[in-house]
Amino acid sequence: MAERLNNELFARARGIIPGGVNSPVRAFRAVHAEPIAAVRGEGPWLYDADGRRYLDHVMGWGAVMLGHAHPAVTHAVATAAARGAVFGLSTPDEVDLADIIRTAMPSVERLRLVNSGTEAAMTAVRLARAFTGRRKVLRFDGCYHGHADTLLAGAGVPPVLAGDTLTACYNDLPSVTSQCELWASDLACVIVEPVAGNMGVVPPVEGFLAGLRSLCTRAGALLIFDEVITGFRVAWGGAQALYGVRPDLTVLGKIIGGGLPVGAFGGRADVMALLAPGGPVYQAGTFAGNPVVAAAGIATLHTLRAANPYAALDRAAAHVARSIAGAARDAGVPVQVNRVGGMLTPFFTSSPVRDMAGARDVDATAYAAFFRAALDLGVLLPPSPLEATFVSACHLEDALWRKSAALLSEGFTGVPYCV
Ligand code: PMP
């Protein structure tokens, strides 16, 4: 019986859906494991098709900050769905959600809701190009902004479509300065994850974000913070509040939809004024500002604002990070744990990781072994070495994060040494 349903399901899926999955990382290839089919979640727990229960640290890739099936969110979704799933017209809830976001992030003077982080980042870049009348977009090696052509160099995108995309090294201001000097009058924007989450968690070094701010101002380019992961996670006001740097535009997703598909982009009113119908930059969506999504988002943000879990999250995640680092040291496995608030990554390497070159250095085989050991112990980590492990508001009971820390420490038994 064990593993029957999971395996049957994936055998069937592979005959219908490429690779058996609708998003590549779900195939678990990087950790050399059979993928898991999730059938139910409750708070920090996730249940697979064979009835096994896992303490979940993937948390919908950071989207369900309150945990799975939070009663307030579930109730809001059911109530909104019963009133109608989509109208293709404006609704009160979308305005309320936009207002909560605007109040939390003062740099976001105006915003629009869309359906995914990909869409939000794509449109923010389109807007920056229109506002500045320039073409070039500077991004950072190891950051991810969704899969729009401009922002996804390589990976099946014809070079001509990413020909105006420049790449710099995260945490390395001189690499940004040299691109700014090279493309001085043609740089439309710099887009960055203010805390990188997609090369594993890499915090900005002191002065990096402020440096980007002044380089952009000097170059006449817009600074875009992609806070799809960090928004409402590292602080109520996101990384821009935590580090005190004001971007021109902000890209959001994940938490603001309470687990339903969402994205948002917003920022300076003069830039946002270029959007149709007031301006010439087109963007639209059948489901943009969807009432069920907006209801889930409002319920999530109201709950988060009332609970204000950020200090507790920081403490709990710090304990988990310390436990992992300690257990790795005791086992003789070189591991560097990077963390900001409730997002962390154990990098299986002996050198500190502050950019993608450092992240590429990890021993992926050792992480895969750690992942499988944790899974056997009932803890679900991201099925890839360069992703964020999330400690969320649903992990905050002492017993839970202590259990998580203990199990993850135990996970080092059997992890091979890395070189
Ligand atoms: N930006 C960042 C920082 C992300 O982490 C992601 C997705 N993980 C995206 C953009 C794309 O968002 P989505 O998957 O909703 O398209």
The string of pLDDT tens digits covering residues 138-160 is 999 999 999 999 998 778 898 88
226, 248, 355, 363: the active-site residue: 226
226 in catalytic set: yes
Check whether residue 160 and residue 188 sit in a common domain: yes
- Can you give the pTM of this predicted structure? 0.97
Q: Which two tokens stand for residue 18?
A: 């490429």
Q: How far, in Å, is the centroid of ligand 1 from the Cα of 346?
A: 21
- In angstroms, the CA 91 to CA 108 distance is 20
Looking from the CA of residue 23, the nearest atom of ligand 1 is: 14
Residue 372 counted as domain residue: no
- In angstroms, the CA 317 to CA 190 distance is 30
If you count DSSP H runs as helices and E runs as strands, how many of each does the chain have, helices first?
A: 14, 14
Check whether residue 253 and residue 299 sit in a common domain: yes
Check whether residue 342 and residue 247 sit in a common domain: no
Looking from the CA of residue 198, the nearest atom of ligand 1 is: 5
pLDDT tens per residue, the chain (419 residues)? 456 778 889 999 999 999 999 999 999 999 999 999 999 999 999 999 999 999 999 999 999 999 999 999 999 999 999 999 999 999 999 999 999 999 999 999 999 999 999 999 999 999 999 999 999 999 999 999 999 999 987 788 988 888 999 999 999 999 999 999 999 899 999 999 999 999 999 999 999 999 999 999 999 999 999 999 999 999 999 999 999 999 999 999 999 999 999 999 999 999 999 999 999 999 999 999 999 999 999 999 999 999 999 999 999 999 999 999 999 999 999 999 999 999 999 999 999 999 999 999 999 999 999 999 999 999 999 999 999 999 999 999 888 888 888 888 988 886 765 43
Of the residues 277, 306, 335, the one at which a domain ends: 306
User: Residues with beta carbon inside 6 Å of ligand 1?
Assistant: 61, 116-118, 121, 144-146, 193, 197-198, 226, 228-229, 253, 263
Looking from the CA of residue 115, the nearest atom of ligand 1 is: 15
Check whether residue 213 and residue 260 sit in a common domain: yes
Check whether residue 320 and residue 262 sit in a common domain: no
**Into how many domains does the chain fold?**
2
Q: How far, in Å, is the centroid of ligand 1 from the Cα of 228?
A: 6
144 in catalytic set: yes
Q: How many CB atoms lie within 10 A of CB 356?
A: 22
Check whether residue 189 and residue 151 sit in a common domain: yes
- Write the pLDDT tens digit of every residue in 64-115: 999 999 999 999 999 999 999 999 999 999 999 999 999 999 999 999 999 9
Check whether residue 286 and residue 325 sit in a common domain: no
Range list of H helices, 59-116:
59-62, 71-83, 92-104
Residue 359 counted as domain residue: no
Q: How far, in Å, is the centroid of ligand 1 from the Cα of 354?
A: 21
Q: Which of 114, 254, 260 to mutate to test the pocket of ligand 1 (most atoms within 8 A of CB)?
A: 254
In Å, what is the CA distance from 334 to each residue of 94, 263, 328, 375, 384?
A: 47, 37, 7, 21, 18
Q: Which of 198, 252, 260, 389 to mutate to test the pocket of ligand 1 (most atoms within 8 A of CB)?
A: 198
pLDDT at residue 414, rounded to an integer: 67
Nearest CA to ligand 1 atom 12: 117
Residue 357 counted as domain residue: no
Residue 174 counted as domain residue: yes
Residue 292 counted as domain residue: yes
| Count of CA atoms in the C-beta half-sphere (13 A) of 104 | 28
Give me the phi and psi of 123, to 5 degrees please.
-75, -35
Q: How far, in Å, is the centroid of ligand 1 from the Cα of 105?
A: 19
Nearest CA to ligand 1 atom 14: 117
Residue 363 counted as domain residue: no
Check whether residue 277 and residue 216 sit in a common domain: yes
Of the residues 306, 336, 362, the one at which a domain ends: 306
Q: Which of 229, 232, 250, 343 to mutate to test the pocket of ligand 1 (most atoms within 8 A of CB)?
A: 229
Residue 289 counted as domain residue: yes
Q: Using CA of residue 323, residue 325, residue 330, residue 331, what is the dihedral sign?
A: positive
Q: How far, in Å, is the centroid of ligand 1 from the Cα of 117?
A: 5
Q: Which of 145, 151, 202, 384 to mutate to test the pocket of ligand 1 (most atoms within 8 A of CB)?
A: 145
Give me the phi and psi of 93, to 5 degrees please.
-65, -35
Check whether residue 318 and residue 230 sit in a common domain: no
Nearest CA to ligand 1 atom 10: 145
Residue 210 counted as domain residue: yes
Which residue range forms the structural domain that includes residue 240?
A: 71-306
pLDDT at residue 419, rounded to an integer: 39
Q: At what angle do helices 398-410 and 310-331 cross, to 10 degrees?
A: 20
Please say whether the beta carbons of 394 and 66 come within 8 A.
yes
Write the CATH number for 317: 3.90.1150.10
Check whether residue 320 and residue 400 sit in a common domain: yes
56, 254, 310, 363: the active-site residue: 254
Check whether residue 54 and residue 86 sit in a common domain: no
Of the residues 287, 306, 325, the one at which a domain ends: 306
Q: How far, in Å, is the centroid of ligand 1 from the Cα of 144?
A: 7
Write the CATH number for 111: 3.40.640.10
Looking from the CA of residue 143, the nearest atom of ligand 1 is: 3
Check whether residue 79 and residue 164 sit in a common domain: yes
Q: How far, in Å, is the centroid of ligand 1 from the Cα of 393?
A: 20
